[in-house]
Structure 1
Amino acid sequence: MNDQKYDEPRKAVKSLLDTLQVKRVVYVDDRIQDTIPLEDVIAAAIGLDEASLRVTFPGLGDSIPDDQDMRTAKIRDVWKDMSPEERASSGQAVVIAAREPGDDETGDGDMTDASNLRLLIPNDRQLVNLSPSHWETQQEQLLEESRTQRTLFLFDQDFSGADGDVDGGIKIIASLLDRDDTEDLICGLLTHKVTPDDQPEKWQALSEKHGIEKDRFIVIPKQQLSQDPMLFALALKFVALSPDFTKLKNKVKEIIHEAASAAAKRVEKVNIYDLDHIVFRGSFEEGLWEPDMLFRLHALFLRTESLKLAHEGGVLEELAAKLRSVSGIPTDRDPVPPPDSAWSLQREELYEFGDIINKNHLPLELGDIFEKVSDDSSKNENTGVVDCSKKYYILLAQPCDLMVRSKGKRAPELIRVPLAEIVQKPKCPSYSEEIPCFDESRENKWFVRMKMVHFVQISILDLCVLNDDGVGRLVIDADDPKGLRPAWQKRCLELKRHWSNKLSPLDKLSFEKKDSQDLRQVKEKIRESFLKAILSDVLFKGKIESTGNGQVLTYGCKRIARLSRVRAMGLLMSYTSTCGRPAYERDFVASHQGQGNDANDNQG
């Protein structure tokens, strides 16, 4: 019975049960028999050590003979005075404890799981195994005893083996937690119907289907008991964390509500003089949208009010300390990947996506990410790139230089700005920085290549701000898009003027009735050459079309996301460091790398 792979999980389980102050574990399963023959109990008890018998058969007392005949006699003597329920509980525990892991006559793994559960429960805790019928008769007594001898209640999911409900276990949990006198009850569902891979989804589904708060019970795949016993300890940790975590969330939610209310009141108290100076005059000079300045003030007040409330009374400190002590109990086996929900939250913190930045026409900013959407990029099938139509670039320009001021211009005016390539690689290339959580797949790693930088006309990127879909497009003769900031309304006029001037020579190339066929062909060739020279940039190709709304200029770039300011500033610093790296004379003693570039692309 001494399986070493259970040693560390058992230590973790003991620490967690100590934290929960659990003295007893009750496990209800339809494979547990109502009656156990005495001879089976004796045969099993002979093979157990004294410590195991003391836990599984508490009726034997502290003095358990080592001699086989004396032990048999004592078991017979105690057995005759036990109730049927006590015989079933102790007899089942002894038989299960004596069974070797993997030895399961039922063929479905339930008895093996019950045996493995015994390996996970420390010897100083009582494990009570009950059939569904014995649970029904002992339920109220066990619940009452749990008030003074706190108990962890574990239930099998399917009771059909005892002519019960296939969802019997979860229904019992739902009924128990619905009672008024079970606020501190700890329950778990042990089931073969859930695997470690789909546990989070099945747990959520069971919670919704049976109307149980997710924080009040845990779903444990039975496979964990044998395949990865440390996961049982991890599940138990969630049980231990849930009550205080719920309290912590509720307290933080309360603080957020109070802080937001206090911050809103402070915004209301901003007088007309400050309002004019900070919100309107300041915004006008910087080319900002006035409501953004009010939100900035609210964020300032919210932060200060939240900090003040968070440290009042010491409630958060106390809850955090308790949760920290439980979370620190070792339950790791191998490095555990973060859950998908954590990955999604991290992406949400790091990026603002097109549905926010484009539909609200947010100004061009450091960290804006663009996708190349030219028509012919997807046709190049021999480049070795899996999805060559998905080429991404990130804007690495100083934020103040990108700011469009109140007159619709930058100071100074920029002609070109750097876009660095974002590439997917298995490991970090030279002179590159990882850009985390860039796509939804956790398998892919993306990097910004600081030496693969293209200087693009900023007047092309500005077009992306004007459109809800983020595409670089300008309808030259149409009205301005709705929802632009005041500075960008003027910027839109500047862009129309800029592109109209660049395209004005086309007017001289228009066909006239008196033009001969040869002249028309010459004009068409000149027009094609002119447009190619004017509209082709280092990365993005443009085209001009005549529609019912006028001339439409479209470039093959699309703004899809924005990296957070802190991360983007880090990339900008890395880029400037790469540009400013020293270039030393080649050492006389340097080894030769062969012909071509250095294998690691590490030349100065």
Structure 2
Amino acid sequence: MKGEAMLLPIEPQEAGVPVDAPAAKPAAPRPGLTDLFTRLRIKRVVFVDDMVEPVADAANVIDTLTRREDARQLLESLFPVAVLANDNEARFDQLTALLGDMDAAELEAVTTILSEFTEEEGARDILQLRRNIPEQVDLKILTPAEWHAQQQEIIEQCREDARTLFLFDQELNGDPQVLGFATGADIIKGLAQSEPVGFGTRWFCGMLSHTLNSGDEISSWRQLAEDNAIALKFFMPIAKQSLSDGDRFYGAVYRTLINTYCETMKTLAKDGLREALDAALKRFDDIDPLAFEHIIVNSSEEEGVSELETLLRLYAIVHKDEAKRVILREAEFLKFADAATGVKAVADISRELTAETQAHLNLLRAQELHDGPELVNGYNDPLRNGDVFEIGEGNDLGLFVLIAQPCDIMVRPGGKRVRENNFKVAVICPLTLDPAEVEAEPPHLKHFIPNFGDKGDVTAAVLFKRGTVVNLNVLDLTVLDKNGRCDITPAELKKEPKRFPTRAWEDRCAELAKHFGKVAGEIEDARKKHGDEVADLIAKATVPRVGLSNALKGHGSYVAGAFHYPIKRIGRIRDPGAASLLAAFGRFLSRDALEHDFAR
């Protein structure tokens, strides 16, 4: 059977004259779906549902006319007006005779109209499915009992050059004692156990569900797989809501078809990575303790790098090598290549993404390009080029990024930096998400940061011209706090120093307590000698400033031995993005300064 859609009405003929059923003219399925099925050689769609279509008989035609007067015009395109008239006492017999003389295509046209006006939701789902499936693809609608009777024959007809897309309703209400299954998941599970090699080669499986909202398929997919003990690669849920939206239905079918290939690649990769992990850990264990101490402790301390960072770097070297060795073994590589080639055949057709998928991609890309606050602050990670800060409060709250040559901001043994007080060491530049601000700034005065924000769906711009030299003594305070806040109470820090995995930063913590403690001492001495008013003036003048710009001048306060800055470290731009930012800032500093054109 072929997909149909609403028939266009024609002028009714004279009473008593039979009317030939016009060729059905469905709303054209999405062109991509036709291409998709053609490329993958899908010749048939089989839908198994416990809801059946209306039977094309006289009783259903009369019932539809009785309930829905608006169906009359469409039915008049298939039957004489006089036959359908309400006062026609022979209507039932005449309709029965006319229906008996119709061929399969004409009967299908009648069924399509009856489905359009039925009160049964399941029948409307079937109608929507008919409209979505391309005409050249055979659509077979089966009840659970019919599937049970015909399953073996249908499976035998599936070939690599004539594939089938199976769509099973989630709830079939079948009797497992009689049919051997109760749900669509049971059927898919049975196929996966009996003929797993058929998935992706001779057929594909989707599970239609009325309990899912369109767009929630992925979030429910793993739970359905777990609840029914089915591997993810064997099926993909499809919300029945998507049947009424051609684009969403295309996206759901597209995801179903690529799923087997993608899950195969993921499974091969996971198996390889597990094996590689064991091999990598073996190589890790075999490292000479003296070499390990030199790499992790000695070299890190000399260069001012976190020991944890060096440890992860060392592990990445051995794990990446072992992963390549495992996955590139001929047998595994050929399986991976087959799956990649299979999904490429589909992906070549269309790469349009749903909003949900695009959001997932944005978030994943953001995780690749940026470190979140928990990965930066949670480990008291030292300041780095590319660290992002919130500075200010209320309407004055703004985003800033630290730009610095990495070697210059590394804390060395003794808790100090090389050229600590050199003004060239570090700057902070504002980050803007405002399109108007971005547009107003010339290209050479800004740098774009893609996939920014919590969802990774915005592009930020760094405004170099508004940058200012920053006081690293102040920004260092964010390293001391696991929430990235910029606060210090020197007296408490001296009593109970913070623990760091890096000895250099333990020394740095003591240096910061000493530096801010000295300022606090001057303020409190003034308070003892001259009172609160003078002490407040001294505090305003001596509290270390965040940076040199007027915009940052007022930030920072001192109250009862504690310093507070409205600053919070909220993340980091990872390399190579951070290195690209530094290079762009270098180009900004080295831009040509030409003599002004006095002839203009």
What TM-score, normalized by structure 1, do the two folds share? 0.74
Q: Which residue of 2 aligns with 1:543?
A: 557
Cα offset, 1:246, TM superposition: 2.0
1:529 aligns with 2:542: no
Q: Which residue of 2 aligns with 1:485?
A: 502
Structure 2 residue aligned with 1:342, among 361, 385, 389? Answer: 361
Tell me the secondary structure at the aligned position of residue 25 of structure 1.
strand
Structure 2 residue aligned with 1:267, among 267, 279, 284? Answer: 284
Larger mean Cα displacement after TM superposition, 106-115 or 414-423: 106-115
Q: Residues 46-66 of structure 1: CA distance to partner in whole angstroms, max 9, x if unpaired?
A: 98xxxxxxxxxxxxxxxxxxx
Tell me the secondary structure at the aligned position of residue 140 of structure 2.
strand
1:218 aligns with 2:229: no
1:554 aligns with 2:554: no
Q: Residues 110-167 of structure 1: CA distance to partner in whole angstroms, max 9, x if unpaired?
A: 555534534544455432222445345444554565589754322345669xx999xx
Q: Which residue of 2 aligns with 1:457?
A: 471
Larger mean Cα displacement after TM superposition, 466-475 or 193-202: 193-202
Structure 1: give runs of 5+ residues left out of the alignment: 48-71, 80-89, 379-387, 513-519, 591-604
CA distance in 2, matches of 1:356, 1:441: 17
Q: How many residues align?
A: 515
Cα distance change on mapping 1:189 and 1:38 into 2, 3 Å: farther
CA distance in 2, matches of 1:440, 1:279: 33
Tell me the secondary structure at the aligned position of residue 309 of structure 1.
helix
Q: Which residue of 1 aligns with 2:10?
A: none
CA distance in 1, matches of 2:599, 2:127: 68
Cα distance change on mapping 1:128 and 1:335 into 2, 3 Å: closer
1:420 aligns with 2:440: no
What TM-score, normalized by structure 2, do the two folds share? 0.74
Cα distance change on mapping 1:106 and 1:3 into 2, 3 Å: closer
CA distance in 2, matches of 1:126, 1:438: 47
CA distance in 2, matches of 1:347, 1:158: 38
Q: Residues 472-512 of structure 1: CA distance to partner in whole angstroms, max 9, x if unpaired?
A: 22232232112351001111222222223344433542426
Tell me the secondary structure at the aligned position of residue 467 of structure 2.
strand
Q: Is this contact kept in 1: 2:359–2:455, CA < 8 A? A: no
Structure 2: give runs of 5+ residues left out of the alignment: 1-23, 62-73, 79-96
Q: Is this contact kept in 2: 1:13–1:233, CA < 8 A? A: no
Q: Which residue of 2 aligns with 1:69?
A: none
Q: Which residue of 2 aligns with 1:438?
A: 452
Structure 2 residue aligned with 1:468, among 474, 477, 482? Answer: 482
1:311 aligns with 2:328: yes
Cα distance change on mapping 1:97 and 1:396 into 2, 3 Å: farther
Q: Is this contact kept in 1: 2:380–2:482, CA < 8 A? A: yes
Structure 1 residue aligned with 2:583, among 549, 573, 592? Answer: 573
Q: Residues 428-447 of structure 1: CA distance to partner in whole angstroms, max 9, x if unpaired?
A: 33133332333235665432
CA distance in 2, matches of 1:221, 1:272: 57
CA distance in 2, matches of 1:317, 1:147: 21
Cα distance change on mapping 1:444 and 1:276 into 2, 3 Å: closer
Cα distance change on mapping 1:194 and 1:400 into 2, 3 Å: same
CA distance in 1, matches of 2:518, 2:118: 85
Cα distance change on mapping 1:589 and 1:236 into 2, 3 Å: farther
CA distance in 1, matches of 2:577, 2:129: 47
CA distance in 2, matches of 1:265, 1:242: 34
Cα offset, 1:204, TM superposition: 5.0
Q: Which residue of 1 aligns with 2:382?
A: 363
CA distance in 2, matches of 1:34, 1:107: 10
| Aligned residue identity for 2:259 | S
Q: Is this contact kept in 1: 2:232–2:263, CA < 8 A? A: no
1:12 aligns with 2:25: no
Q: Which residue of 2 aligns with 1:196?
A: 214
Cα distance change on mapping 1:138 and 1:121 into 2, 3 Å: same
Q: Residues 385-419 of structure 1: CA distance to partner in whole angstroms, max 9, x if unpaired?
A: xxx26422110111010111112111121355311
| Aligned residue identity for 1:353 | G
Q: Is this contact kept in 1: 2:170–2:185, CA < 8 A? A: no
1:155 aligns with 2:168: yes
Structure 1 residue aligned with 2:574, among 564, 576, 588? Answer: 564
1:495 aligns with 2:541: no
- Aligned pairs for 1:102-251 within 5 A: 104-107=116-119, 111=123, 113-139=125-151, 141-143=153-155, 145-146=157-158, 151-156=164-169, 172-179=183-190, 180-183=193-196, 184=198, 186-191=204-209, 193-203=211-221, 206-207=224-225, 210-228=228-246, 230-251=247-268
Cα distance change on mapping 1:102 and 1:472 into 2, 3 Å: farther
Cα distance change on mapping 1:393 and 1:499 into 2, 3 Å: same
Tell me the secondary structure at the aligned position of residue 420 of structure 2.
coil
Higher helix share: 2
CA distance in 2, matches of 1:12, 1:97: 25
Cα offset, 1:202, TM superposition: 4.7
Cα offset, 1:225, TM superposition: 4.0
| Aligned residue identity for 1:401 | D
Cα offset, 1:97, TM superposition: 5.4
Tell me the secondary structure at the aligned position of residue 404 of structure 1.
coil
Instruction: Please tell me the root mean square deviation across aligned C-alpha atoms, in Å.
Output: 3.9
Tell me the secondary structure at the aligned position of residue 452 of structure 2.
coil
Q: Is this contact kept in 1: 2:556–2:564, CA < 8 A? A: yes
Cα offset, 1:363, TM superposition: 0.9
Cα distance change on mapping 1:304 and 1:587 into 2, 3 Å: same
CA distance in 2, matches of 1:524, 1:302: 61
CA distance in 1, matches of 2:33, 2:293: 66
Q: Is this contact kept in 2: 1:423–1:449, CA < 8 A? A: yes
CA distance in 2, matches of 1:104, 1:193: 22
Q: Is this contact kept in 2: 1:25–1:128, CA < 8 A? A: yes
Structure 1 residue aligned with 2:341, among 278, 300, 321? Answer: 321
Tell me the secondary structure at the aligned position of residue 511 of structure 1.
helix
Q: Residues 532-556 of structure 1: CA distance to partner in whole angstroms, max 9, x if unpaired?
A: 111162426223333xxxx332222
Cα distance change on mapping 1:140 and 1:94 into 2, 3 Å: farther
Q: Is this contact kept in 2: 1:13–1:236, CA < 8 A? A: no
Q: Which residue of 2 aligns with 1:294?
A: 311
Q: Is this contact kept in 1: 2:300–2:306, CA < 8 A? A: yes
Cα offset, 1:336, TM superposition: 5.8
Q: Is this contact kept in 1: 2:236–2:259, CA < 8 A? A: no
